[in-house]
Amino acid sequence: MARSPKTGHLIIGVLALQGAFREHATALEKCGAAARQVRRRRELAGLDALIIPGGESTTIGKLMVSYHMLDEIKSLGAAGLPMFGTCAGLVMLARQVADGDQPLLNLMDITVRRNAFGRQVKSFEAPLEIPALASMAAAGVNSGAAPFPAAAPFPGIFIRAPWIESAGPGVDILAELEGHAVAALQNNLLVTAFHPELTGDLRLHELFLRIAAG
């Protein structure tokens, strides 16, 4: 794995074409990782992992195509590079959207519905039970950077959020809300329908860094 020559930390790329990329970079740095904002194809080289942030999935997809990054990111994901998609990033990682058409990475065996919980005026916060976070802490992985007990519900912030409409047998559903899957893991791919980067809770970023570290 590539390492920052100055810090020895994981180098985590954050796709910075549109959306909440700065907040992800801040969360990663609080967890002790080196964050690299990725705006050009060449900046994908040497990463340990990549985050695709929330934003507008159609716009992000079109920008990936315009900047000749879609196929490169897809190839990196297929080769095993860990990726974390939040909200629009969840949509981008999916194999299919249930409503409409747009560029996708087609990496995760899920079908998603965009804006499933309503438009932006219907944004909300809901506590989520995510047993994987408690298991991570029990294994001594949690750095303690976030002031949240291991077993506490995660503060899910939903903004024009999608949900996972269906998932293949290799997908582990990590959290549900109102009967719909809103977080999932498949091999090195982690997705959430909500925005962990907009909270003070770093547990999901810590889980992703654990995945990135192998």
Residues marked as catalytic: 87, 195, 197
Q: How far apart are CA 120 and CA 138, in angstroms?
A: 36
Q: How far apart are CA 120 and CA 181, in angstroms?
A: 20
Helix or strand holding residue 64 (H, E): helix 57-66
Q: Give me 27's structure tokens.
A: 């969360």
Q: How far apart are CA 117 and CA 99, in angstroms?
A: 13
Q: Which residues contact 211 (CB under 8 A, 6 or more apart)?
A: 49, 82, 188, 190
Helix or strand holding residue 190 (H, E): strand 189-192
Q: How far apart are CA 163 and CA 161, in angstroms?
A: 7
